[in-house]
Amino acid sequence: MTPTARTQTTVWAFRTRFRRGAFGWKGTRLAIGRIHEALTEIRAVARHDPARAAEGAVLLLERISPALCQIDSSSGALGSATYAVVQELAPLISHAPVSAPVRQKWLDRLFEAIQEDDPPYIESLGDHWGELCATQELASAWVDQLLPILENVLRDRKRGTYAFFSGTSLCYSALFKAERHDQLMELLDMDPRPIWPYRVWGARVLAARGQIDEAIDYARQRAGSTFSESTIARFAEEELLKAGRRADAFNQYALLANQANTHLSTFRVLSKKYPEVAKDKLLGHLIASTPAEPGKWFATAKTLKLFDQAIRLAWASPCDPKTLNRAARDHLKTQPDFAMQCALASLHWMSMGHGYELTGLDVLEAHRFAIEAAAATQQTQQAHATIEKMLATDRPMSTWMKRSLGLVP
């Protein structure tokens, strides 16, 4: 390949979009869109040239903070997006098939980017520093560079002087990669008030020595009150999985460690991570984890086409009437019995005062779906009888529902 051709292949479209101060105060949405475009570009290259993709990853990481520095980041959306960038690109750089001199140049660039990371969008990159070094030798060289500075900082902190070093996480990570474990533990003992991102390296040392249960106990005892049980659960699950103790990981920590934004998302994460667990068994575990709100898992059971279980969940505890109406509508022709039960459950929970921003249209839809589905399954009489009970005067919203259905003036 000629020098000219090589230059052409390393032109990145995202480079010009991530200039210093490229985004204004209200540029969060645009910036996140640009980040996704950059990741797409890097992923496309990674499929056929991982080394070049890693070069692009380094370029993006060193440009993120300068480009985003003027954005109002108070919503947290930008922080979440940039954290995800680091989690995706760090392994790409770590596994890139490049020479030691090339990797050293990358690390020098990234180290400089971390020093200038304000706001701290890529600070989590330090946790990956050992893996970014790729070899024990390179990691040890970075320890020799960082350790004296960190030791001086810790001595100042012991004397009560405020001191901070942006290379702290990098040093712990490099110590771990270099297998200089005793030094790592001694360094932790020097810190009068080590925070969890540093303490966790001590737990990882114990795990690396095969002391998994001791590592989990260490993490739990030293995490501090500011960290939730889910943080400990994620660490414990990760180490148990590495040790091949999948049953222990699932039974003890998986549910707490993998909470997603929705119940369905939580199920999907766990199903992907533990394919050996049958889907109905997994759903049973999740339902048991929220004994007071089994109805929250209705949408998950429906998506899995576990219709009988979904119906039991719909009636077991308050379930969103709008969700039930959509389920009834979508299954009116293919699963009429299921649709009827969904519509009846919707009417039931509306009559008991559950649901948000409901209108008379929601009542009319649930009633129509129930009657249409009942007709398809020859259960019209039973459906009418059930609805009549729901509209009894002893229910909080019965009068409103009757009015919506035109049964009272």
Residue 363 lies inside a defined structural domain of this protein? yes
- The pair of structure tokens assigned to 262 is 């929705």
Average pLDDT taken over every residue of the chain? 93
Q: How confident is the model at residue 36, as a pLDDT? A: 97
User: Given a cut of 70, is residue 286 above it in pLDDT?
Assistant: yes
213-271 confidence digits (pLDDT tens): 999 999 998 876 667 889 999 999 999 999 999 999 999 999 999 999 899 999 999 99
Q: How confident is the model at residue 2, as a pLDDT? A: 38
64-76 confidence digits (pLDDT tens): 999 999 999 898 9
* Residue appearing with tokens 């797409």: 40
Torsion of Cα atoms, 229 then 234 then 237 then 242, to 10°? -150
User: Model's pTM, two decimal places?
Assistant: 0.82
Residue 324 lies inside a defined structural domain of this protein? yes
Tell me whether residue 167 is exposed, middle or buried, using C-beta atoms within 10 angstroms of its C-beta: 0 to 12, 13 to 18, 19 or more: buried
184-210 confidence digits (pLDDT tens): 999 999 988 888 899 999 999 999 999
Domain span holding position 393: 318-404
Among positive and negative, which fits the CA dihedral 355, 360, 366, 370? positive
Residue 392 lies inside a defined structural domain of this protein? yes
Which has more pLDDT, 8 or 25?
25
In terms of Cα–Cα distance, which of 335, 323, 396 is closest to 366? 323
* Residue appearing with tokens 């086409």: 305
Residue 162 lies inside a defined structural domain of this protein? no
Residue 81 lies inside a defined structural domain of this protein? no
Strands (E), 178-305: none
Residue 374 lies inside a defined structural domain of this protein? yes
* Residue appearing with tokens 């990760």: 238
For residues 336 and 309, is the Cβ–Cβ distance under 8 A? no
Residue 72 gets the label, from left (phi > 0), alpha (psi -120 to 50) or beta, of: beta
Residue 326 lies inside a defined structural domain of this protein? yes
116-155 confidence digits (pLDDT tens): 998 899 999 999 999 999 999 999 999 999 999 999 999 9
DSSP 95-107: T----HHHHHHHH
CA 35 – CA 44 distance, rounded (Å): 14
Residue 128 lies inside a defined structural domain of this protein? no
pLDDT band at residue 6 under the 50/70/90 scheme: very low
Q: What's the number of domains the chain is made of?
A: 1
In terms of Cα–Cα distance, which of 289, 292, 216, 298 is closest to 256? 289
Q: How confident is the model at residue 202, as a pLDDT? A: 96
324-359 confidence digits (pLDDT tens): 999 999 999 999 999 999 999 999 999 999 999 999
Helices H / strands E in the chain, number of each? 23, 0
35-44 confidence digits (pLDDT tens): 999 999 999 9
pLDDT band at residue 9 under the 50/70/90 scheme: low
CA 193 – CA 201 distance, rounded (Å): 14
Q: How confident is the model at residue 225, as a pLDDT? A: 67
pLDDT band at residue 4 under the 50/70/90 scheme: very low
